[in-house]
Structure 1
Amino acid sequence: MSGAIIFIKEDLNISEVQEEVLVGILSIVSLLGSLAGGKTSDAIGRKWTIAFAVGVFQTGAAIMALSPSFGILIIGRLLAGVGIGFGVMIAPVYIAEISPAIARGSLTSFPEIFVNLGILFGYISDYVFSGLPAHISWRVMLGVGILPSVFIGFALFVIPESPRWLVMQNRFEDAKSVLSKTMEGERQVEERLKEIQLAAGLANAEKYEARSVWREIWNPSPPVRRMLITGCGIQCFQQVTGIDATVYYSPTIFKEAGIKGNNQLLAATVAVGFTKTLFILVAIFLIDKVGRKPLLYVSTIGMTTCMFGLCLTLALIEDGQLGIALAILAVCGNVAFFSIGIGPICWVVSSEILPLRLRAQGSALGAVGSRVSSGVVTMSFLSVSRAITVSGTFFIFSVISAISVVFVHKCVPETKGKSLEEIEIMFQNEAHWRGEVEMGDSERLMQKE
């Protein structure tokens, strides 16, 4: 959409407010798809929820590509957003349930890698098709997004259903057949099947406890309150620091810096996508070696510096090669620091800190904050930029990013190398949560509890 919007404005003659709605509505609507995905996947299965997501997205993409007006384009965007919401929710669930334990960690990190790879491919397709006439180019840019989902559609004939869902449907032989494809040895298959059967047997009890879980979240004890502050806070800071505005509106930013031609604008955005994809791979390699908190410090401080640098560049350096080069460097640096830290670590920390009984609902609450924050930022970026300039907008982002450094220092403990039980203990004591005592005191804290 970042590249297509250039030609949509030219072809359909839409206003800035319409542009903001078109770009930002995806984040809001994808939240609805994600929230509905849980019950849908329990009802029809993980595999066919993927199929449903593919169908909804393909319909939306086709409507966008063929839309004769802004109203029809919005309808297609809404459908595409719902499909993406289902896909974003079901992908990690399916991967976690289908993967063998030994490879689950690396496999469940794939969605984050491929989201960034998809952004890069989107930028590249924008550049490739930018030479077509305006009324055709944006339609091809949006329509080509159907191709990956077609591949997923064919893959549905090959991939199996989740063994956990099969057990919940009392289809034990089918579940055993799936497990035999991902595990070695009949004994391991039988043991794993028994574990899943035991977990499935507790499912009904968990449903009856759901109301009390929400009650605990809305009226939390001090330890749960600390967990929610950390989990929901890092989710919101991930978005209010302006990353989606940078990704969606990078052509607007580069145009402000002095790049004139559409081809040059889109070529610069390819550099942004490449940088974002490269550094997410670096983060996945470092996260268990360096730790969460050091990477978060590097990320938030680096983003603050880059956005403040972009603010100064746009405000003080007039059109010229130096200003363009510094703007591209600042934007690429911003997405690099985001990808090496708060981007992926946000999801890791949110899933680690909450106890099992609260993990699903607490994570959903964090996702609400993330998606709403993203929608607000992307749907207001152009209006705010017009009121206080793009430079002023990124000054605000840099201030928010500086606040996120303080939040990381005060409210995000280091969880590297700690068991889930140790992490839960950390939140029992406020001084421990804030890092004022060492983890070596964990046994003493456990004994006190």
Structure 2
Amino acid sequence: MAVGNIYLIAAIAIIGGGLFGFDISSMSAIISGTPYRCYFNQGSLNPDGSCPGPNSSVQGGITASMAGGSWLGALISGFVTDILGRKKAIMIGAVIWCVGCILVSASQDIAMLIVGRIVNGLCVGICSAQVPVYISELAPPRLRGRLVGAQQWAITWGILIMFYISYGCSFIHGTAAFRVPWGLQAIPAIILFFGMMPLPESPRWLARKDRWEECKDVLVLVLGKGDPHSKLVEDEFAEIQAYCEFERRNADVTYLELLKPHMINRTHIGVFTQIWSQLTGMNVMMYYITYVFTMAELKGNNLLVSSSIQYVINVCMTIPALLWVDRWGRRPTLLVGAALMMTWLFANAGILATYGSPAPKGGVDGIPEASWQVSGSASKAVIACSYLFVASFAPTWGPVSWIYPPELYPLRIRGKAVALSTSANWAFNFALGYFVPPAFENIKWKTYILFGVFCIAMFIHVFFMFPETAGKHLEEVEDMFTDPSGPKHIGKLAWKTHVGEHSARKEELLEKMRQSSHAEERPEHVDQTVAKEV
């Protein structure tokens, strides 16, 4: 029997997001551990007999390999989801993750570890692209932001849970200290695979495949709570029906469609939403937080426990966005987040530049990436600003970067468009994962300046180019981008859009669609007029 509770559907689907979180914190907790550094060591021992581990470039490559696989997985997901459906695409991702976990936990050398992480990345790319699409196509508009944003909350929980698992395993002697946590990562994927089985398919994908009875059944199950005469069901079904009939007159979409004049604006917005979410500098605070805190003179258990506090902050501070992001809107949330993160990044850079000094040759505690050191009150300020940065990212760019892209595109290209946007996330995740260790080693505290400048750029970009999509039907967003009163191919000016705008014309169109959907024979001119305007 199919599950119809939208909260339960979302709770199961977002486990796909949690897989990415598991990967982030497993690397963060493990890369500073002696078993990992000695097993994958590439250089001679430090003077104190400790192992330096992989060199900074290789460690960057190990970390970034997962994102490289995710980039490819996100692009592939556009084809998989259009052919097999959103639900099956997510289930395929879960299987791929289990294969990757086997390879990673059994790694005999760096090459095998990288291959396993690339396989894991294929899953993360598929799930991170298609889980938001799946949820957004099932959820009612008033809950869409909350439910899609829950993917980010799942990521934060994955980070937190896996960090403490890795921390506990750090007391194990030998390679089991990293093999056990990497192997345990397969458990949530198994839960995801079997949990997806009783969930319904996306009604919009079913409609796209002309499976109208199944589409209506899903809407009745999820939105109508079993009532086939629910007004919400009728409205949604009429909108989907009219829109699909309009799209049927268009050829099947390819990725090149996203670059055409009528689509390029929203394509660039979706892509840059994901790019900016990476350029906030959150990678510095997640993958490599142990390097940052090592520079602040934290060691041993204090280092790992202090690092874990930011993961707790990440979980807790995501909750406000889930509760109120549909009320706040997407634009204000992104703007406030960019301004706050810029503040803490520049603060950290200023503290390190003013009160810090170069570390001894070989880095603090033999970690080359910890090439700068700060002590006393200044070190506490660095830690505090790091926590405040995470507290600023968690309720803003964290969830909204997943919520926003699926809302931008019409049905026929949504799968591929979100896949392209998500692939941009993973391309920059790969680049930053590779870049940050050498950056800490070579440009030191100036790394924070770089990300602070990016935050300024994203604030300006969002203000002038990102329209508000909160509270609107997915089909209704099309009007906003093709508004004849706005500039050609741009629609309404971004700063003139607001949460849940509604028009009398919209009600008129909905009524026409409801009437035409119940008619035995609908005049062609009604279909064309309604579909084009909706």
- TM-score between both structures, scaled by the size of structure 2: 0.71
Structure 1 residues 438 and 415 mapped into 2: Cα distance closer, same or farther (>3 Å)? closer
Q: Which amino acid aligns with 1:395?
A: I
Specify the alignment match of 1:316 in structure 2. Answer: 354
**Sequence identity, in percent?**
24
Instruction: Please give the alpha-carbon distance, in whole angstroms, between the structure 2 residues aligned to 1:23 and 1:206.
Output: 45
Q: Which amino acid aligns with 2:146?
A: S
Q: Secondary structure at the match of 1:184?
A: coil
Structure 1 residues 438 and 142 mapped into 2: Cα distance closer, same or farther (>3 Å)? closer
Is 1:428 matched with 2:482?
no
Structure 1 residues 413 and 51 mapped into 2: Cα distance closer, same or farther (>3 Å)? closer
Structure 1 residues 193 and 409 mapped into 2: Cα distance closer, same or farther (>3 Å)? closer
Instruction: Please give the alpha-carbon distance, in whole angstroms, between the structure 1 residues aligned to 2:414 and 2:214.
Output: 28
Q: How does 1:324-343 map to 2 (within 5 A)?
A: 324-343=379-398
Shift of 1:406: 2.5
Instruction: Please give the alpha-carbon distance, in whole angstroms, between the structure 2 residues aligned to 1:244 and 1:388.
Output: 17
CA deviations on 1:155-197 (whole Å, 9 max, x unpaired) are 2454344455566667677666655543322434995896599
Is 1:72 matched with 2:131?
no
Q: Which amino acid aligns with 2:340?
A: G
Structure 1 residues 141 and 328 mapped into 2: Cα distance closer, same or farther (>3 Å)? farther
Is 1:218 matched with 2:259?
yes
CA deviations on 1:248-291 (whole Å, 9 max, x unpaired) are 11111111121121x22221221111112222221233323333
Q: Which amino acid aligns with 1:333?
A: L
Query: Could you tell me whether the CA contact under 8 Å between 2:152 and 2:402 is conserved in 1?
Result: no
Is 1:259 matched with 2:289?
no
Structure 1 gaps of 5+ residues are 444-449
Deviating more after overlay: 133-142 vs 179-188: 179-188
Deviating more after overlay: 91-100 vs 192-201: 192-201
Instruction: Please give the alpha-carbon distance, in whole angstroms, between the structure 1 residues aligned to 2:405 and 2:471.
Output: 16
Structure 1 residues 172 and 405 mapped into 2: Cα distance closer, same or farther (>3 Å)? closer
- Higher helix proportion, which one? 1
Equivalent residue in structure 1 for 2:460, among 400, 406, 426: 406
Specify the alignment match of 2:282 in structure 1. Answer: 243
Query: Could you tell me whether the CA contact under 8 Å between 1:355 and 1:424 is conserved in 2?
Result: no
Instruction: Please give the alpha-carbon distance, in whole angstroms, between the structure 2 residues aligned to 1:294 and 1:186.
Output: 37
Structure 1 residues 92 and 230 mapped into 2: Cα distance closer, same or farther (>3 Å)? closer
Q: Which amino acid aligns with 2:346?
A: F
CA deviations on 1:341-399 (whole Å, 9 max, x unpaired) are 2333334443444555665554444333322122111111111221111x111121112
Query: Could you tell me whether the CA contact under 8 Å between 1:229 and 1:411 is conserved in 2?
Result: no
Structure 1 residues 131 and 178 mapped into 2: Cα distance closer, same or farther (>3 Å)? same
Instruction: Please give the alpha-carbon distance, in whole angstroms, between the structure 1 residues aligned to 2:199 and 2:464.
Output: 44
Query: Could you tell me whether the CA contact under 8 Å between 2:156 and 2:315 is conserved in 1?
Result: yes
Specify the alignment match of 2:322 in structure 1. Answer: 284
- TM-score between both structures, scaled by the size of structure 1: 0.83
Equivalent residue in structure 1 for 2:184, among 144, 149, 163: 144
Q: Provide the aligned length of Structure 1 versus Structure 2.
A: 438
Specify the alignment match of 1:234 in structure 2. Answer: 273
Structure 1 residues 152 and 438 mapped into 2: Cα distance closer, same or farther (>3 Å)? closer
Structure 1 residues 144 and 321 mapped into 2: Cα distance closer, same or farther (>3 Å)? farther
Shift of 1:64: 0.9
CA deviations on 1:224-266 (whole Å, 9 max, x unpaired) are 55444443333322212321232111111111121121x2222
Query: Could you tell me whether the CA contact under 8 Å between 1:9 and 1:15 is conserved in 2?
Result: no
Structure 2 gaps of 5+ residues are 1-26, 42-53, 357-373, 504-534
Structure 1 residues 141 and 317 mapped into 2: Cα distance closer, same or farther (>3 Å)? farther
Q: How does 1:80-91 map to 2 (within 5 A)?
A: 80-91=120-131
Structure 1 residues 259 and 96 mapped into 2: Cα distance closer, same or farther (>3 Å)? same
Q: Which amino acid aligns with 1:214?
A: L
Structure 1 residues 147 and 345 mapped into 2: Cα distance closer, same or farther (>3 Å)? same
Q: Which amino acid aligns with 1:187?
A: H
Q: Secondary structure at the match of 1:210?
A: coil
Q: How does 1:44-59 map to 2 (within 5 A)?
A: 44-59=84-99
CA deviations on 1:385-433 (whole Å, 9 max, x unpaired) are 21111x1111211122222223233333455567622454385377962
Instruction: Please give the alpha-carbon distance, in whole angstroms, between the structure 2 residues aligned to 1:16 and 1:89.
Output: 30
Structure 1 residues 108 and 127 mapped into 2: Cα distance closer, same or farther (>3 Å)? same
Instruction: Please give the alpha-carbon distance, in whole angstroms, between the structure 1 residues aligned to 2:138 and 2:403.
Output: 19
Q: How does 1:157-306 map to 2 (within 5 A)?
A: 157-162=197-202, 181-182=221-222, 183-188=225-230, 198=241, 202=245, 205=248, 208-210=251-253, 214-215=256-257, 217-220=258-261, 224-261=263-300, 263-306=301-344
Query: Could you tell me whether the CA contact under 8 Å between 2:169 and 2:177 is conserved in 1?
Result: yes
Instruction: Please give the alpha-carbon distance, in whole angstroms, between the structure 2 residues aligned to 1:392 and 1:366.
Output: 29
Query: Could you tell me whether the CA contact under 8 Å between 1:94 and 1:162 is conserved in 2?
Result: yes
Instruction: Please give the alpha-carbon distance, in whole angstroms, between the structure 2 residues aligned to 1:97 and 1:414.
Output: 18
Structure 1 residues 264 and 93 mapped into 2: Cα distance closer, same or farther (>3 Å)? same
Specify the alignment match of 1:447 in structure 2. Answer: none
Instruction: Please give the alpha-carbon distance, in whole angstroms, between the structure 1 residues aligned to 2:99 and 2:454.
Output: 38
Q: Secondary structure at the match of 1:208?
A: coil
Specify the alignment match of 2:134 in structure 1. Answer: 94
Query: Could you tell me whether the CA contact under 8 Å between 1:164 and 1:196 is conserved in 2?
Result: no
Q: Which amino acid aligns with 1:23?
A: T
Q: How does 1:1-150 map to 2 (within 5 A)?
A: 1-7=27-33, 8-13=36-41, 14-99=54-139, 103-150=143-190
Instruction: Please give the alpha-carbon distance, in whole angstroms, between the structure 1 residues aligned to 2:256 and 2:347.
Output: 43
Structure 1 residues 158 and 408 mapped into 2: Cα distance closer, same or farther (>3 Å)? closer
Structure 1 residues 17 and 146 mapped into 2: Cα distance closer, same or farther (>3 Å)? same
Instruction: Please give the alpha-carbon distance, in whole angstroms, between the structure 2 residues aligned to 1:260 and 1:43.
Output: 51
